[in-house]
């Protein structure tokens, strides 16, 4: 197929993906307001029995291991924190668009999500090391979690071509995004940007998804987030924390690592912490399903 045809096919698929539920969209809207209170969230979530159930399941899950069961929604929101509730709402919406595990012909769904969680966890740890404002550290987790979301439409809509792209990257020892471009004339970062923009999740997440393989061309204002996700992605691929189809990731320069104040000694030192956080986050995502 010609590139224009492929883009039209993918764009049509993305636009047919379910929109963010009204409740989730409202949660994201009000949590972007620094004056939002747990009571504000309580008013919205209490009108959505499904999301309310997930919030209650999360606070009473093994993730938190509380001695007594929590039965009050507003207390659950206070204990979880506004950012965690926002992440749960967004994760619920994202997971609702993915289809069945059988749709993942070129990729293993479990491996894909383990990799995605690893990138999110690593990005957040790097942000913590850099003393990023705690109020926005969760953005690093979400950006990492969503960085490869563009692979889903490619895998589901162009399954034959995507299997070929994954095979080519293994055979030629090249980064997957380059094999995608060679076979399908688009890559997962481009497609991921379409999804993030369609959901109106914000310029910061859009930039992180779009440019995590192309730092040299990025001139926007969210460079710290974009570069952090790129480093977290390289680390997760190098240490095979999950698998998202990329056995031969593109190296980053020492200057890029220095820009974020990290080196490979530091990244090696957090491997056990990342693995522990992955297990916790998998519980989180099981609740979101």
Domain boundaries, the chain: 3-17+101-288, 18-96
Q: Read off the pTM.
A: 0.86
- pLDDT for 103: 65
Q: Which of 86, 48, 287 is nearest to 205 (CA)?
A: 86
What is the C-alpha to C-alpha distance for residues 154 and 156, in angstroms, rounded to an integer? Answer: 6
What homologous superfamily does CATH list for 3-17+101-288?
Hypothetical protein af1432 (1.10.3210.10)
Neighbours of 221 (CB within 10 A): 11
For the chain, helix, strand, coil in percent to 5 are: 70, 0, 30
Q: Which helix (H) or strand (E) holds 238?
A: helix 223-238
Is residue 5 within 8 A of residue 13, CB to CB? The reply is no
Q: Which of 99, 23, 32 is nearest to 55 (CA)?
A: 23
- pLDDT for 164: 93
- pLDDT for 57: 92
What is the C-alpha to C-alpha distance for residues 172 and 287, in angstroms, rounded to an integer? Answer: 39
- pLDDT for 273: 93
Averaged pLDDT, groups of 10, the chain, 289 residues long? 75 79 87 87 93 92 87 95 86 71 74 92 95 86 93 87 93 95 92 91 95 95 98 96 92 94 95 89 72
């Amino acid at each position: 197929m010609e590139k224009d045809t492929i883009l039209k096919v993918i764009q049509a698929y993305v636009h047919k993906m379910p929109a963010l539920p009204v409740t989730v969209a409202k949660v994201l809207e009000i949590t972007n307001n620094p004056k939002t209170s747990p009571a504000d969230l309580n008013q919205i979530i209490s009108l959505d029995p499904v999301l309310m159930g997930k919030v209650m399941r999360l606070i009473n899950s093994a993730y938190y291991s509380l001695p007594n069961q929590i039965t009050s929604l507003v207390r659950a929101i206070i204990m979880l924190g506004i950012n965690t509730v926002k992440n749960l709402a967004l994760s619920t919406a994202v997971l609702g668009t993915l289809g069945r595990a059988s749709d993942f012909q070129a990729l293993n769904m479990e491996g894909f999500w383990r990799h995605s969680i690893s990138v999110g966890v690593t990005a957040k740890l790097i942000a913590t090391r850099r003393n990023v404002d705690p109020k926005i550290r969760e953005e690093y987790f979400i950006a990492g979690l969503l960085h490869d979301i563009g692979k889903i439409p490619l895998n589901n809509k162009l399954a034959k071509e995507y299997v070929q792209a994954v095979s080519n990257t293994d055979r030629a020892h090249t980064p997957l995004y380059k094999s995608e471009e060679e076979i399908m004339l688009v890559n997962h970062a481009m497609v991921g940007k379409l999804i993030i923009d369609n959901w109106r999740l914000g310029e910061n997440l859009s930039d992180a998804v779009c440019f995590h393989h192309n730092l040299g061309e990025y001139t926007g204002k969210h460079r710290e987030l974009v570069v952090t996700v790129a480093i977290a992605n390289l680390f997760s691929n190098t240490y095979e924390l999950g698998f998202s189809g990329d056995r031969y990731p593109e190296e980053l320069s020492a200057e890029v690592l220095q820009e974020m104040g990290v080196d490979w000694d530091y990244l090696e030192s957090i491997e056990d912490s990342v693995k522990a956080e992955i297990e916790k986050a998998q519980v989180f995502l099981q609740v979101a399903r």
